[in-house]
Every structure is written in structure tokens, then in C-alpha cells.
Amino acid sequence: MRMTPLAEATEPDGQGPIPNKPLLAGGEAPFSGPWGPLPTGGLVLQEQSRQFQARSPRSCQNAVLKVFNLSLEIVTSAIRNTAMSRFAILSALLSASSLATSAEPDVATSLVGATAGPENEIPASLTCAEEQIVVGGCDPNDVVSCATNCNLFKDNSKEPGYLLDKHVGVNANLLAFEKAELWVPRIEEFSKCTGASIRLQYNRGEDYMATDIIDDVGVDDGGGAGIFDAYIVQAPWLPPVYKGLKSLSEFISMDDKYINFYDINQASRAAVSFDGSVRALPLDADYIALGWRQDVFEKYASQYEEMYGEPLKVPDTIEELVDVSEKLNGKFDYNNDGIADWGFCLTPQTNYFQAFLAPILQTHLHACDIVDGKKVCDGLHTGQNIFFDVDTFEPLIHNEGYRHAVELYWRFIRASNCQVQTAAGEKCDRKTAFKTGRCAGVLSMPGTMTNLLKEGGKYAPPPEVRMDAEVLSEGGYWGRRKIFPGSRMVIDWNKPGQPLVECNDEICPLSRNSINYAPFFAEGGESYALNGQQSKPAATAAMWDLFTWFATLPVGEVPLAGTYRKSQLEPEAIDALAEKWDNRVMADDLNAVLQEYFKDKDEGGNPVQDLFIIGFPDYNEALDTELHKKLLLADVSDGGLFNKSDPSKSLDPVKDKEVFDMLYNGFIKNLEKKFSTIHNKYGGALSQLSLWRGALGVTPVKSKDDICADLLASDVASFDRLDCINQVSLEALCQVLESDVEDYKPGTCSDNNNKAIIAIIALCSVVGAGLLVGISWYAYRRYLTYQHIRKAHEQLMEATLNEAIRALHQLDYPLHLIRGDEFSEEGKLMRHEVLREWRYAGSLIANVCAWVVSPSIIYPAGNTHKLTVLDSLSDVDAFVAAGKHVVFFSHQWTSFTLPDPSCIQYDTMVLALKDLVKRNGWDESLKDVFVWVDFSSIPQANPSTQNLAIRSLAAYASSATYFIIVAPDTPHADLDDNCDFDTYQKRMWCRAEQCCHLLRNGMEGMYLKTGANNPLTPVKNDHFVDSLHVFDGELTCCRLEHKGLASCDRQSLVIPLLGLYGELIRAAADGRKGGNADSLQAVEAFLSEIDSRQEEVFPRTFKRVMWRKNKRVIEEVVLFGDLIERMRAKAESGTLEYNEDMGAATASTNSSDFIRHGASDFLRHGVVHGGMSNSQKNGVHIETAVGSL
């Protein structure tokens, strides 16, 4: 069974084996060429082949020996043709390797030097860990070939190919969420040059990436799993983990000639900078822009002017945008379908509302000064933003500007596609609306905007619903792009009450024509980041070189990259873009937009940053819910502004001012309340304020204590609201803020002074006496400490024993089973959440499909209510007593993300189930057989409940009436390896499941099924010997050297196995008393094996490899210690006590009513969980998918 999906999904990172035995290395050769001596007639290769066969494991031989055979022919050819370069031979060998291993290409992993083998973690075609044979990198003597692959930088200050073989043998893992075909050629080129093995792993998708990064990096200074060396990230995901990411500032300073960091636009740089250090390297930018249709504006220009007495022009301000959209709405038929069309279109999202808000709230990021007669705003950070006050963390929603933005945005929505789509109960969607030709323009992010405006774009209106052929002159184009409009009305932050005023040069120092522009960079775009805690230096260096190289390439050659640098706006770059798009107008429009958006602070740039703090999705969801779902798009009958039956009668901010005011005030109140809840969820408002200041780069940098001290002196209400009293010591602040402290809490400083004087006098008076009794006191304290430690140790040991006993009698998470007939009809292993009963009401049911999507299998929406739930072990006993059979399927996962993508194991399980039914003469409808299998019976979506279920795994396995090992020969979907019974038996968790079952049930109910054509067979009599040796099995956490983990999985098995051992000892004693010779013989066989090899079965200690502060540490850790001896003594003395109601009371040895569920003659010890008779008397209610028992 696979216990840690993320850990299984990758290879270990860092430096691999050092190449000390090249494949072509050999002695002096009688032949020579321009590149040096050749191996003697291939004899060296033949000898290496013989040695390799003698010493190497078969798993490595199979893949590499084929390469040797083909290599002999290649070398022989080379001997005859001395003009053949060494690089050519290496290339041929690589090709031979590919042919020999018959690897199929795969976008994610089939990369030169990037597809790792299952055991060595290095591609079999490139490296065998046993022999340290490397065929990769470049031959420095082959200038032409190496220059082709290794001329990574355009600059001539370094020799072409200076990265030759720089990272040979280094393995590095990269985690990404979005697939891109360009990864394959780029990583191939990099690997051929440097010799590095870069493995690219895709996660489940963008929605999961933030959580996956947290799991791998860890939060703040705490370590995570540490599996990956680098990540593709978005800025909102960085705040929780930035302290665990590598600071790139030093790297950039060394390689800025190539990185050219300040060529990256100001907003993207800010998005990846925290507390003054750079934590990621941007590769694109996301922002809001305006799209408009030139055919519409030209076609109706004269009619518009006649109707309204003003020209129809593309809006420069948000006020104009709303006005033009309202005036176009319902007046003209753009697509000639006989229906009047809309103004501008959108998809109502928080980022589009924030684009309206940005030019109202943010006028300049930095303080301004007059330089050479011109105003330059590049001084200290003003703290301006659109979310929270940087001194108090109050939400910036209590001002006239916020209301002005809401009113404009609401008016814009009313004139958009929403008036039809929302009213019809559909999603208001710019993509579906714009392609109909009914929109005069659109709001969008850059990538989607291109697909909206480009001829033939995914969301573009086709020619038949446009008018460009009719109205546009030659060279004109219908789909245009423009910077998002600014605002003539802004907040004056320097006046009390922060009023909404007209923009002028003093208030808006960066304005043009009294218009304040502030482009909103939503989400910050994508970036590269390096693991700064667990990654090995060699892997970090390789990934940095890869990213550095990417920074020098044209944007079209870099995976996932967009336009994000000022140099990408040079004329030649725009020319190239125009050629790529075959559209000069679109390229020039994009250039005009980005010339404005990419302005630096000394150029008058005023970009607005998104909310990059912990909980970004929650804050976003709160705003979306309160603004869109409950106010703007909610029907008037539900307390909203939208009249869905007649959108023209929706509430107006002016005409319906009283009602609008009431609803708006309710929106603000609810939003503030939700924000406060989110603050508390993520460590409190003070902690979030500190993060927000760091994300914005506000200077001077303040600690939490500094923030609170300033608030005590200036804003006591905020001091209390941020709970600063629990952050700072008032007594400590007396030295610098005595009057403020006394005002806040009178007497604090004077009492503190008096206490200090008294303390000094007391100290002087006791010094002499203290010297006399010091030695005696020290000796006494040492004795007390020893006694305390000894007592604490005994209490800990006793608590551990009690917990082991408790674990046998309680389930931390209910047992979930699938009825046999329904299991056999599913067609594949089904996810737990799909099968379970859905207990919630309302529209949530319709949304369940959002989180049951697997990377390669899409499950149906909702659930199927096919799980039988047993809440306690006494319920399990009653269930079995009612004639039901519980079958535990144990298997090995054959993919990193899915248990059985090929369905080979599932098909084998179904056949095994039917074989078991026939063998025992049960009802062949399978309705009396219930299945436990990990993917279906353990929660997959919620890590917390999943952990509870894993803690109950021993109880699940031991409570099953039958245990079937399913181990057909199955190819692993992500590794070049087959899974079978041998690989199954090597896994520690698989052994643990077996051990938990057989220690309580014996072996008679244990079976093995190794394929569809192989019979269901009982396990061999000596099978228990391997199964008992649980800790000889392999663990992923150990293979990864516990990077980012606080403990080893071995330690989690101590409690369940210790308890089962105690039950085994007690059962043996009961068997001797009861005279049950047959059952006693099986128990004694187990105990004999354990006693003879106790140190192997239950090791006292084990060697654990950990990584701390980038250092590999080997330490000896206590595992069982003397717990086995203690448990044996406890069991033999008859004191294995457990009472379900009181926690500890009656001795389990007092009960002799052992129930044997299943056909086993093994002494069924400890089955009565809480008393079978009571369960029967009380009529235990067992919930199933089809009724009750």
C-alpha cells in the first residue's frame, strides 16, 4: 500500500554518483585518431561487459547490457573511421541506449538525462549507480558539437560552452503545474551540455500547487518533505513558504549580466521580493487590460455623436468606460442578428473589480521630489495599496473611493453580457459572450486577451459577426488592446477622512492630463523558485544555471514564459512578435500597453500589487462572495442589486439610493467581518500586517514589536485590535515610551522602577548567604533532577504501553467498506470521496465534482453512496457476527498519483474476490462480502482525515476476516520497472499490513493472487517469517533521507505493533490455560520467530539519515527500546487493561469469549472490542449502502 503519495512521486535530489568509469575508457590502443587513442578493438568494452554481468544487479543489467552489445558495433566502426569524433560516438551510444531500452517519449519525463529509474534514481540509459557509468555531457575536444549544445550565453566574455560537464552526475527535481511542450527540448539541450539530470514532475494542477509547495518546502522556517529542488510558482503562493525558498539576491548579483534583474518590470520584481530579498525569478506577468473593437467604434461613431452630442472615443478613464458602455448598451446591433447588443463584456471576478479600484486608491508608490525641475517619485515607499493599511492593517474599504469603485463597477456590469447571461441563470462569461459578436469590448488578462482579439483565436468573434470588412481601411484591424483606463477621482490620503477628490498634480504626481493611471497586476504571473532548506547545493546550482540560461533566450523559446521584460519591447522583439502573430496592429498595441505598464519607479510607473500574504485565496473568496454572489449578482428578492426577471429594473445607486446604501453598508460590514476571521485563521492581524509590509517592501522595515510600539504612541485602538498587548512587554517599553505606557496602563512604569530597586537590595543581601549554601543546594538539585527524569521516563513508557493497548480497541477513523457486488461493477478503483455518502444539503452537491478529478481519471459529479461505515470495532464484530465477510486487499501502487492506472490490479482483485466466494461456498452475488482497499476506503482529499485513517490502519488490517495480497505483474506508470510480488514484499508498509493481520488472525485467511490467469492460493506456511520482519522493508522516507520530515515512518508503527505483540503474548497464555493445542501451536510459532530474532523484528534502535541546515546527519534513534520487554511483562502478569467507557479498568484476560471470524483456527485473540454480548443486546445499528443490519 502506498502511504505517502507526494513522497512516492519523485526521485531524491542532489548529486548522483560521480562518473569514475567512463563507458569508453580503456587502455592504450593501437589505433589513434585526432581525438586520441581508441579502445583496443572493443576488448575493453567486452571485459567491462563481463565484469558488469558478474557484479551488477539484474535490474541494472537488463537495461544496460543491450547498450553494450550495440556499443561494440559503434566502437568497431569508430576504429575503422578515425575521423569519427568522440562526441559522435557518445551521441551514437546515447541513441543505442534509447533503442535498447525502447523508451516511449513523454512530455513530462522523457528527457535526456531526465527519466529516472526506479532504484538508482538515475536513468538506466545514462547511469547505473552500481557501476557509476556515465554517458552524458560534452566532449571538450569536440568544439563544434559542444558549441552547438553549450553556447548558453550570448555574451563573448566567457568561452562558448563554459558550462561543459559542469553538472555531470547531478540530479535535480522540478515541480510544475502547467504542461508546456518547450520543456522537452530545453531540458534536453541543457542536459547534453552540462550532464545534469533534470526531472520534471507535474502535480495535479494549478488548484493544488499552493498546497503542494507548502508540503514540500514547509511553512516559514519549518521544513517540508523536501523532495523537489525547484518550482514553477505564482506570487500568491509565496508568502507562506518564502522563508524556506532560496534567497536569489546573491545569485542575481553574481549573474546579473545574464539575469538583468532590473530589466524585469517593476510589478513582477515586487511580487517575488519579501523583506528585501528576492525569492523567485519571474518568467511572465499577469495584468488587466482593455480590449475594444475598432469595427464597432468606427461603424457607429456618427450615430453615437448624433444621439449623445459627444464623439465616440476609446475610454481613457474608468468613468468614461462606464459611460460609453452604458450608452452603447442596447442601442446598436453589432452582429446583425436583429437584437440590440451590449456595451463592454467581462467575467465578474475580484481582479476586474480591483482594476477599477486601483487608480482611485493608489496615486504613487514612492515619495516624490523635484529633480532638475521635474517631479521624480522614487523615494521611500508611501504604503499605498488597495487592500490594507500598512500601519494598522485596517481594510481600505471605509472610504469614499471604495464606494465610488463599487458603483462604477456595478454600472459596468449592468451594461455588460451579465444582463442576459446572469438573468438566464448562466455564468456571466466574457469568453462565451465575446465570440458571439455582441460585445463592444472586453476586460481580460493578457493570455486570454490574445485569444479574444487574435484572428481565429479561441474566443474571438468570427468574421461573419463582425463589420471590419465593411468599415475598416486597409491595414486596419478589428481587435484592439489598450491600457486599462485611469481615474480622474482619487483618494486624498493626506486629508482627514481620506475624501474622494479630483486628481491634480499635487495629489496625483504621476498623472497625465489629470488622470491617475495605476495598472493592476493580478496574481503576479509565474516565476521560478529554488528550495532553500532541503535541496543539496549541487542540485541548486544546476537549477539556477538552467533558469539563468532561460533568462537569455527569446521569450518564445522558454516554457510558460510571457512578455515581462522591458528589453522584450525593443523594436526587433516587437517585429518578431508581429511576424509570429502575422498581425502588426496587435503587436504594436501590446507594445503600447506594456511600455506604460513596465515603467519603473523613476520613469513614473505606478503598478498596483495583488495581496501577497498567507491566505490570499481566502481573502479573494471572501470578496468574491460578498461582492458578487451576495450583492451585485444576487437577485433583489435575495437581498442583492440584480433584478433577474427584468435587469433594467435592477437597483440604481442614484435612483434607489436609500436601498443601495443599506445593502452597500451591509456588504462592507460582512466583508470586514470575514477579513477578520481570515486574519485569525492565519496567525492574527499583526502577523499578516508584518507579511504585507514585507511583500510591499515598505520602508523602514519594522518588526512586530516596532509596529506595536508605534501604535501605542499613535493609535491605541489599533494597538488593541492587533492584540499587541500579547506581543510586547509594557514594562520594556517604559524606557522609550514611558508617557504612552502610563497613559495606556497607569502605574506600569513606576511599579516597574520600584520593583527594580527592591530586587537590587534583595540581591545584595542574599549574595553572601547564597555562597554558603550553594554547593549543598547544587547537589540536592542534581538529585531531584535525576529523580524527576527517571519518573518522567517511567510515565512515558507506561503511557506508550497504554496507547498501544488503546489502539487495538478504538478506531481513530471509521472503517469504510464497499459491498462486493458494487465493487466488482465499478470497473476501476474508485476514489473514497466519490463512493461515500454526501451528508451536506443544497447546492454544494453540485460542486462536489470540483475536487474529485484525478490527473488521468475524471470521476462523475456527486457521490454514489456505496460505502458501508462501521464506527467502532465492536460494530465490526457485530457486522461479522451477522454473517458478513470483510476482505482486506493489500497491494502496491503502480503510479505516483493513482493506485492502479492500468486497472490490472483492480481486475485481479475482482477475480480474487470471486475465487474466494467459490472456495468458501458463499452467495455468488457477492452481497455478503465487503471490501477494504486503500484508495476507496481512506480519504484522499483531506490530509487531516487521511492521517486519522492511516493511524487506524493496523486496526483495519487486523479486523478483516480475510486478507488478500494482490500482486500481478504490472508496469509502473512513472518508472521503468515492473511491480510484482517481489517488489510488493519489499515495501515496509505492505509488510506492516500483513503483520497486523496475521498477528491477530493467523495465516489461514491470507491469500495471494498474482494475476488473472493464476489461481487464488493460500500463502505458504513460512510466509509469516518475511512478514514479521516489517522493519527490513523499504520506505520512501528513508530513500529520500527524511528531507523536511521530523520523523521516520518506522516510528509510526511502534504503537500498533507493540499492542499486537502484547495481545499475542496474552493469547498464548490463554491458549495454555484453555488447552487449545492447534491454535496455541500457531501462536507459539510466531512467538518463537520473534523471540529468536527480536532485535530484527522489533529493533531497539535504528540508524536515521536526516538533513539539517543542508548537512547530512546520521543518528541512532530509539525505536522499541525496552518496550517489548515491558509489554511482555505486562501481558504475562495479566494487566493488559482496557475499558471502552472509562479508558482503563477491566482486564481483557477476564473474557474468554473469543470470536473467530473467518475460517481460521488461529486463536482469535482480542476480537471482543468492548463486549460482543452488549452489542447484541443493544442492537448495534450498522449503516450500509443498502440499509441496516
**990 — phi, psi (to 5°)?**
-65, -45
Residue with cell 459577426: 465
Provide the CA 1157 distance to its chain's centre, in angstroms.
43
Instruction: Say which residue, 63 or 1135, is predicted with more confidence.
Output: 1135
Residue 985's CB is within 10 A of a number of other CB atoms, namely 17
Q: How far apart are CA 721 and CA 727, in angstroms?
A: 12
CA-CA-CA-CA torsion sign (391, 395, 400, 406):
positive
| Residue 2 CB partners (closer than 8 Å, separation 6+) | 8, 892, 893, 899, 934, 989
* Pairwise CA distance, residues 830 & 1049, whole Å: 26
Whole-number Å distance between alpha carbons of 627 and 620: 10
Burial, 28: exposed, middle or buried (Cβ in 10 Å; 0-12, 13-18, 19+)? exposed
- In the prediction, which pLDDT does 1065 show? 85
Asked if 349 and 621 touch (Cβ cutoff 8 Å), the reply is no
Share of the chain above pLDDT 90, in %: 41
Q: How many CB atoms lie within 10 A of CB 522?
A: 24
| Confidence tier at 535 by pLDDT (50, 70, 90) | confident
Mean pLDDT, rounded, for 12-16: 34
- Tell me the average pLDDT across 238-267: 86
Q: What's the rounded mean pLDDT across residues 29-38?
A: 33
Across the chain, mean pLDDT equals 78
pLDDT given at position 1177:
34
Reference 37, options 4, 71, 78, 2; nearest CA is 78
Secondary structure letter of residue 395 according to DSSP: B
Cell of 1169: 472490542
Q: Helix (H, G, I), strand (E, B), or coil: what is residue 1015?
A: coil
Query: Could you report how far apart the first and last alpha carbons of the chain are, in Å?
Result: 30
Cα separations in angstroms, 258 against 253, 547, 552? 10, 10, 6
Q: What average pLDDT does this structure show over 577-595?
A: 94
Question: Span 952-980, mean pLDDT?
Answer: 89
pLDDT score at 455: 94
Q: Which of 534, 335, 346 is nearest to 441 (CA)?
A: 346
Q: What are phi and psi of 156, to 5 degrees?
A: -95, 5
pLDDT at 1064: 83
Buried/exposed code over 1080-1119 (b: 16+ C-beta within 10 A; e: otherwise): bebbbbbbebbeeebeebbbeebebebbeeeeeeeeeeeb
- Assigned C-alpha cell, 374: 521635474
Task: Report residue 369: phi and psi, to 5°.
Answer: -150, 160
Lowest mean pLDDT among 137-151, 247-261, 1042-1056: 137-151
* Position 151 confidence tier, pLDDT thresholds 50, 70, 90: low
Please determine, for residue 944, whether its predicted confidence score (pLDDT) is greater than 60.
Answer: yes
Question: Do 268 and 282 touch, CB atoms closer than 8 A?
Answer: yes
Q: What is the pLDDT of residue 996?
A: 86
Across residues 198-223, what is the average pLDDT? 86
Query: Cβ(322)–Cβ(411) under 8 Å?
Result: yes
The predicted model gives 809-835 an average pLDDT of 90
Q: What is the per-residue pLDDT for 840?
A: 34
CB atoms within 10 A of CB 904: 18
Residues in the chain: 1189
Q: By the 8 A CB rule, do 878 and 887 touch?
A: no
- HSE, side-chain direction, 13 A CA sphere, residue 624: 12
Alpha helices, DSSP H, located in 415-531: 418-421, 430-434, 446-453, 468-471
C-alpha cell read off for 804: 498501544
User: Which cell is 1094 given?
Assistant: 527480536
Tell me the residue type at 888.
Answer: F
Q: Return d(Cα 872, Cα 866) in angstroms, integer.
A: 19
Which pLDDT score is estimated for 768?
56
Which pLDDT belongs to residue 202? 92
Range 544-571 average pLDDT: 86
Question: What pLDDT band is residue 222 in, cutting at 50, 70 and 90?
Answer: low
Q: What are phi and psi of 965, to 5 degrees?
A: -85, 120
Give the C-alpha distances (Å, rounded to integers) separating 829 from 461, 900, 904, 934, 936. 43, 7, 10, 9, 7
Between 124 and 1126, residue with greater pLDDT: 1126
CA 255 to chain centre: 29
Burial of 715 (0-12, 13-18, 19+ CB in 10 A): middle
Average pLDDT over residues 666-686: 95
Q: Within 13 A of 473's CA, how many CA atoms are on the CB side?
A: 1
Residue 431 has which C-alpha cell? 469568453
CA 135 to chain CA mean position, Å: 34
State the alpha helices, DSSP H only, in 625-684: 657-681
Whether 1175 contacts 870, CB under 8 Å: no
d(CA 954, CA 721): 48
- Here the cell at position 511 is 498623472
1024: confidence class by pLDDT, cuts 50, 70, 90: confident
Residue 656: its pLDDT value, please?
Answer: 95
User: 795-799 contacts: CB < 8 A, separation 24 or more?
Assistant: 797/1122, 797/1123, 797/1126
CA Rg value for the chain = 36
Q: Look at residue 1112 in the predicted model and tell me its pLDDT.
A: 79
Tens digits of residue pLDDT in 65-88: 444 444 444 444 443 443 333 333
**Burial letters for 917-942: b for 16+ Cβ neighbours within 10 Å, e otherwise?**
beeeebeeebeebbbbbbbbbbbbee
**Three-state DSSP class for 155?**
coil
1188: pLDDT strictly greater than 60: no
Per-residue pLDDT, averaged over 278-303, amounts to 94
Q: Predicted confidence band at 429 (pLDDT cuts at 50, 70, 90)? A: very high
pLDDT at 800 over 60: yes
Quickly tell me which residue has 531526465 as its cell: 114
What is the 8-class DSSP label of residue 628?
I
pLDDT of residue 41: 35
CA separation (Å) from 66 to 38, 96, 648? Answer: 21, 8, 76
pLDDT recorded at residue 149? 52
**Mean pLDDT over residues 504-512, rounded?**
92
Q: How confident is the model at residue 1043 (pLDDT cuts 50, 70, 90)?
A: low
Separation of alpha carbons 689 and 691, rounded Å: 5
pLDDT band of residue 1076 (cuts 50, 70, 90) is: low
460's grid cell:
474571438
Q: Name which residue leads in pLDDT, 737 or 584.
A: 584
Determine the Cα–Cα distance for residues 308 and 104; give it in Å rounded to an integer.
65
Give the single-character DSSP code of 384: -
Out of 226-230, 664-668, 707-711, 1138-1142, which region has the weakest mean confidence (pLDDT)? Answer: 1138-1142
Least confident of 113-122, 254-263, 902-911: 113-122
Statement: residue 50 has pLDDT above 70: no
The span from the CA of 172 to the CA of 162, in Å, is 20
Query: Which cell numbers hold the place of 260?
Result: 538583468
Res 1038: pLDDT:
85
Residue type, 853: V
Q: What is the signed CA dihedral for 934, 936, 938, 944, rounded to 10 degrees?
A: 130
Distance CA 120, CA 129 (A): 6
Residue 1106 CA to residue 1055 CA, distance in Å, equals: 22
Residue that is written with C-alpha cell 523615494 in the block: 379
Residue 133 is inside which H or E element, if any?
strand 133-134
Quote the cell numbers at residue 945.
Answer: 482525515
Lowest mean pLDDT among 99-113, 229-243, 592-606: 99-113
- Three-state DSSP state, 318: helix
Question: Exposure pattern of 437-472 as b/e (b: 16+ CB <10 Å)?
Answer: bbbbbbbbbbebbbbbbbeebebbbeeeebbbeebb
pLDDT tens readout for residues 1060-1070: 888 888 877 77
**Residue with more model confidence, 305 or 756:** 305
Strand, helix or coil for residue 1107? strand
User: Would you state the pLDDT for residue 591?
Assistant: 94
- Kindly report which listed range (403-407, 928-932, 950-954) carries the lowest average pLDDT score: 950-954
Place of cell 478589428: 478
Which ranges in 488-598 belong to alpha helices (H)? 537-552, 571-581, 584-597
Residue 1182 has pLDDT above 70, yes or no: no
Mean pLDDT of 968-981: 88
Say if residue 693's pLDDT is above 60. Answer: yes
